[in-house]
C-alpha cells in the first residue's frame, strides 16, 4: 500500500485530476496529443506493466463526442482479440460532480503503422504480408461480431518493434443488427467481390493501407 501514497511528479500533477486511481500509475512521457486530449506512457505500479493512458478533456461538452467515446469504450470492452488494442482499466472520478475528464488505460504500443512505413524504407514484401495477415485476421473477428470499424487507416493501426499490429480507435464504428433495404441492395451489387456492406468499407480501407507496399 505504500506505493499508493507516493508523491506525484509535476508531470503527473498536470496530467491527472483528483482521481483515486491516479496513484497507481507513474507517468513516463507524453506520447500523443490531439483535440481530444493527451496520451501518456506510464508504469502500472501494481503490476510493473507499461501502459498508455488516454486523457480525454471535458467529455460532456459535446454530446456527439461523448457518444463517440462511450461507443469506443463499450466495443473495446467486448472485443477481445490479439490484433485489437486492449483496454486495461478505466479510472472512475471521485464523484459525479467532478466527472469532467476520462482516463482510459490501454496496453502500450510503441508507434503506429503510419510512422513505421514513413520511417522505414527497407520494409520487405514479407513485412507487408505479415502486416496484412494481422489486419485481415482482426477484420474477420470484428466483422463476425457484426462490428464495422469505418475509420481504418495507418494512424489507427498501432505497431510495435516486433511488427505486431493492433487496430485502435473504434469511435466511428457501428454494430449491424439487421439488414436494411439499402444494405441488401448494396450486398447484391457487391457479391461479385464476395464482400458485403458495411464490411466493404473496411476491406476497401485495408487495400488502400497496404497497396503502396505490396504493389
Question: Which positions are catalytic?
Answer: 151
- The secondary structure of the chain, three-state, reads CHHHHCCCCHHHHHHCCCCHHHHHEEEEEEEEEECCEEEEEEEECCCCCEEEEEEECCCCCCHHHHHHHHHHHHHHHHCCCCCECCEEEEECCCCCCCCCCEEEEEECCCEEHHHHHHHCCCCCHHHHHHHHHHHHHHHHHHHHCCEECCCCCHHHEEECCCCCEEECCCCCCEECCCCCHHHHHHHHHHHHHCCCCCHHHHHHHHHHHHHHHHC
55 is known to lie in a ligand binding site = yes
Backbone angles phi, psi at 32, to 5 degrees: -170, 145
Contact 159, 113 (CB under 8 A): yes
Point out the annotated binding site for ATP: 55
Amino acid at each position: 500500500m505504500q506505493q499508493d501514497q507516493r508523491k506525484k511528479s509535476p508531470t503527473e500533477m498536470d496530467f491527472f485530476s483528483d482521481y483515486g486511481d491516479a496513484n497507481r500509475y507513474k507517468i513516463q512521457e507524453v506520447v500523443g496529443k490531439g483535440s481530444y486530449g493527451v496520451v501518456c506512457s506510464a508504469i502500472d505500479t501494481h503490476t510493473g506493466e507499461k501502459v498508455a493512458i488516454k486523457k480525454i478533456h471535458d467529455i460532456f461538452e459535446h454530446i456527439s463526442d461523448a457518444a463517440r467515446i462511450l461507443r469506443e469504450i463499450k466495443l473495446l470492452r467486448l472485443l477481445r482479440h490479439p490484433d485489437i488494442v486492449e483496454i486495461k482499466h478505466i479510472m472512475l472520478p471521485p464523484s459525479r460532480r467532478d466527472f469532467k475528464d476520462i482516463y482510459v488505460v490501454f496496453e502500450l504500443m510503441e508507434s503506429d503503422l503510419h510512422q513505421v512505413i514513413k520511417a522505414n524504407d527497407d520494409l520487405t514484401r514479407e513485412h507487408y504480408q505479415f502486416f496484412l495477415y494481422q489486419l485481415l485476421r482482426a477484420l474477420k473477428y470484428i466483422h463476425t461480431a457484426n462490428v464495422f470499424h469505418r475509420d481504418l487507416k495507418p494512424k489507427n493501426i498501432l505497431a510495435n518493434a516486433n511488427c505486431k499490429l493492433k487496430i485502435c480507435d473504434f469511435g466511428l464504428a457501428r454494430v449491424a443488427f439487421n439488414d436494411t433495404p439499402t444494405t441488401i441492395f448494396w450486398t447484391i451489387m457487391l457479391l461479385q467481390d464476395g464482400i458485403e456492406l458495411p464490411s466493404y468499407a473496411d476491406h476497401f480501407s485495408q487495400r488502400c493501407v497496404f497497396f503502396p507496399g505490396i504493389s
